[in-house]
């Protein structure tokens, strides 16, 4: 029940593609992450996933197109839809995610980038 400052929380870590949990809302969690380069193709079979761009430009790749998500914008990736977030030109993009506590980082895919533990900050 205390205010949480998103920039201050983002300043607490530097690792790319490593989700950090800042809050829980019912059975969902609020995550911060710093993205750089390309992630991995995956889908979450049972959970939707919301991305909010706080800094920079996110390129959300779908199999049939790429959506450009700017600072101040959100995008919801529906359950079952393959996606692969990406940044361009070495930009570090700051995002907030809203997703179920049960959501696996890279869905059913195992990758060197896959994280199973999200630090609470």
Residue numbers at the binding site for its own copies (CB under 8 A): 1-7, 22-26, 28, 30, 47-50, 62, 67-70, 72-79, 81, 98-100
- Smallest distance from the beta carbon of 61 to its own copies, in angstroms? 12
Of the pair 4, 110, the CB lying nearest its own copies is at 4
Number of neighbours of residue 65 by Cβ within 10 angstroms: 7
Coil, strand or helix at 93: strand
In contact, 12 and 94? CB cutoff 8 Å: no
- Smallest distance from the beta carbon of 68 to its own copies, in angstroms? 7
Phi-psi region of 7 (alpha: psi -120 to 50; beta: other; left: phi over 0): alpha
Start-to-end Cα distance in the chain: 15
- Smallest distance from the beta carbon of 39 to its own copies, in angstroms? 17
Q: How many C-alpha atoms does 114 have within 13 Å on its Cβ side?
A: 14
- Smallest distance from the beta carbon of 6 to its own copies, in angstroms? 5
In contact, 22 and 9? CB cutoff 8 Å: yes
Of the pair 4, 12, the CB lying nearest its own copies is at 4
Of the pair 64, 112, the CB lying nearest its own copies is at 64
Of the pair 3, 112, the CB lying nearest its own copies is at 3
């Amino acid at each position: 029940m205390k205010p949480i400052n998103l920039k201050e929380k983002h300043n607490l870590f530097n690792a790319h593609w490593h989700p950090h949990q800042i809050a829980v809302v019912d059975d969902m969690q609020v995550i911060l992450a710093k993205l750089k380069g390309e992630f991995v193709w995956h889908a979450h079979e049972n959970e939707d996933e919301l991305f909010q761009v706080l800094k920079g430009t996110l390129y959300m790749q779908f199999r049939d197109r790429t959506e450009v998500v700017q600072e101040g914008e959100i995008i919801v990736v529906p359950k079952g839809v393959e996606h692969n977030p990406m940044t361009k030109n070495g930009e570090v993009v700051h995002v907030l995610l809203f997703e179920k506590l049960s959501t696996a980082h890279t869905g059913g895919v195992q990758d060197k980038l896959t994280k199973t533990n999200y630090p609470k900050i």
